[in-house]
Each structure stands twice: as C-alpha cells, then as structure tokens.
Amino acid sequence: MSLYERKGTLMNAKKSIVVIIVLNIVLLAFAASFWQTKRGAHGDRAIALTGSAGKFGPVIETILPAAKTETAVDILDLETGHALLQPSFEYFNSRADAIMGWIRSNHLDISCSLWSGGAACVTYDMTIVPVEGKCWEQTTEEELLDNSALAPVRHSPRRLLVLGHNRPDTFMFRTSEGTLGMFQIVGLSQHGQGVKIRYKLINPVAVLTLKEIEPPQIPPGRKVRTEKLVPATGLEPVRCYSLEPESSASANSATRA
C-alpha cells in the first residue's frame, strides 16, 4: 500500500470515529430527555410523598408563575409538582363549568395571579384552613388527620389568598384527591415573575371503613367508664387554631388566576 493510500485510510478511520462519537452524544442526549419525560409523571410525586404512611414528606419549594394573560394560566398539581397551562376560553366555549371540569379532571390545585401592587394565590377544589405562621413548625400530622375542618367534601369553592401584611400566609389543606398537607406563601419570587410557596404533604394512610371497625367485646355485667378523661395541666400538646377564613374567589377572578 502506498503512502497516499495509507493516509487516505487513516483519514477515513478518523472520520468514522468522529461520526461514532457524535452519534453516541446524540443518543445519550435523547435517552436523558426520554428518561426525564418518563420520570415526570411519577418522579415528583415520589419526592413529595416520601416516607412513612401518615407522616409528612419533605418540604417542597416552588414558584407559581404569574399568568401571562387573563387566560394563559399555569395551574400546579401539588401531588406531582407539575403544572398545566389552562387552555383559552374559546376552547371551553367560555363555559365556567367546563373550565372547572378540566381543572378537576387533571387534579390541579393552585395558581398565581399578579397585578400592579399586589399578588395572590388561587386554590381550586381545595379545602383551605388558614392558621398562624408558627403552626408550620408546630402542627403535627395527627392534628391534620383529626381536624374536622379538613373532612372530605364533594367540592370546595375557589379561594383567593392575597399576599400582604396582616394576612394569613400559612394554611392547612386537603386537595381534591384527598391528600392532606400544609403550605406557606413565602412571597414574590426574586424577579417578581411569580409567587414562591413551600408545602409538605402527608403520605396517604389506609382508611378503615365502618364495617371494618369491630366494636369492643364487653363481658356481660361489666361496667364501662364513659366519662371523658382530661389530661393534667401542662400535658396538653401545643395546638394551632384556625384563623378567620379568607374570602372565596369569585367566578371571574378565579378563572383568570
């Protein structure tokens, strides 16, 4: 083989190696993108709902982006950590019930609205109980699970939670899917493009039906004490009591936010 042919063979080999390297990079990038997309539907849920049943999962911090227009609203699903862009009014034929049906079918929970000099969060089909700020650290899982104000309901009204001084910023809640948790409105994002919140969810627990709960067996003739036992002073745990509720959002303002 001549020197010229050897050089040609070497150049072709180098080109082949470069092509192989480029193809590998493309395939790796595609695989990473595919994995992120596949992971999306369950990955954030696994993060938010991590730990023992009936216990708080980790604290999740996120920014609710401001609505780009009156109808272009990103609404967040707290369980998954994913947001969906609400279609335009024309998509729903300007029907408020169709909009709410779309929100419920996608299990969406909360969005953000900004205006000159103010901001608010809007909740969708969530039971919301405002509490003092200290309750974020002090409230136990048992207090949420036993709170009658968070009992399951068929539907809850939309709520407008306005940011501002002397307004509640800490809330207990139940989502439309039945998940209990707490969230705090931290404030405007760094560049004022949305509202920063943090929240924590209680991992689902098995709920017994009335048929599954066996009544205690009491021997004939035995008396049973029925009076309530009151704990001694100093043994009562710290409890957080709900504040005055925020006003419900009107149909127009809730749809916009």
10-residue mean pLDDT profile of the chain (257 residues): values are 56 59 49 38 51 85 84 90 91 91 95 89 96 95 94 92 91 95 93 91 61 47 42 43 55 44
**How many domains does the structure of the chain reveal?**
2
d(CA 121, CA 116): 15
Cα–chain-centroid distance for residue 75? Answer: 10
Which residues, 6+ apart, have CB-to-CB distance to 86 below 8 Å? 71, 72, 73, 74, 75, 99, 102, 103
Q: Are strands 159-162 and 180-188 parallel, antiparallel or unpaired?
A: unpaired
Q: Looking at the structure, do residues 66 and 182 belong to the same domain, yes or no?
A: yes
Query: Is residue 191 in a domain?
Result: yes
Query: Of 204, 81, 216, 93, whose CA–CA distance to 145 is shortest?
Result: 204
Query: Is residue 228 in a domain?
Result: no
Q: Looking at the structure, do residues 33 and 93 belong to the same domain, yes or no?
A: no
**If you ran DSSP here, which 8-state letter would residue 223 be given?**
-
Query: Is residue 230 in a domain?
Result: no
Q: Looking at the structure, do residues 19 and 115 belong to the same domain, yes or no?
A: no
Place of tokens 């042919």: 5
Query: Is residue 218 in a domain?
Result: no
The model's pLDDT over 18-57, given as tens digits with 9 standing for 90+, comes to 556 555 554 444 444 433 333 333 444 445 666 677 899 9
Predicted local distance difference test score (pLDDT) of residue 54: 85
* pTM, entire model: 0.64
Q: Looking at the structure, do residues 2 and 103 belong to the same domain, yes or no?
A: no
Place of tokens 């405007």: 188
Structure tokens at 190: 């760094």
Q: Looking at the structure, do residues 74 and 126 belong to the same domain, yes or no?
A: yes
Give the CB-side neighbour count of residue 204, counting CA atoms within 13 A: 10
Q: Looking at the structure, do residues 173 and 92 belong to the same domain, yes or no?
A: yes
Burial 90-103 (b: 16+ CB within 10 A, else e): eebeeeeeebbebb
Domain that includes residue 167, residue range: 51-210+237-256
Q: Looking at the structure, do residues 13 and 111 belong to the same domain, yes or no?
A: no
Query: Is residue 224 in a domain?
Result: no
Find the angle CA(17)-CA(19)-CA(23) to the nearest 5 degrees. 115
Place of tokens 């967040």: 76
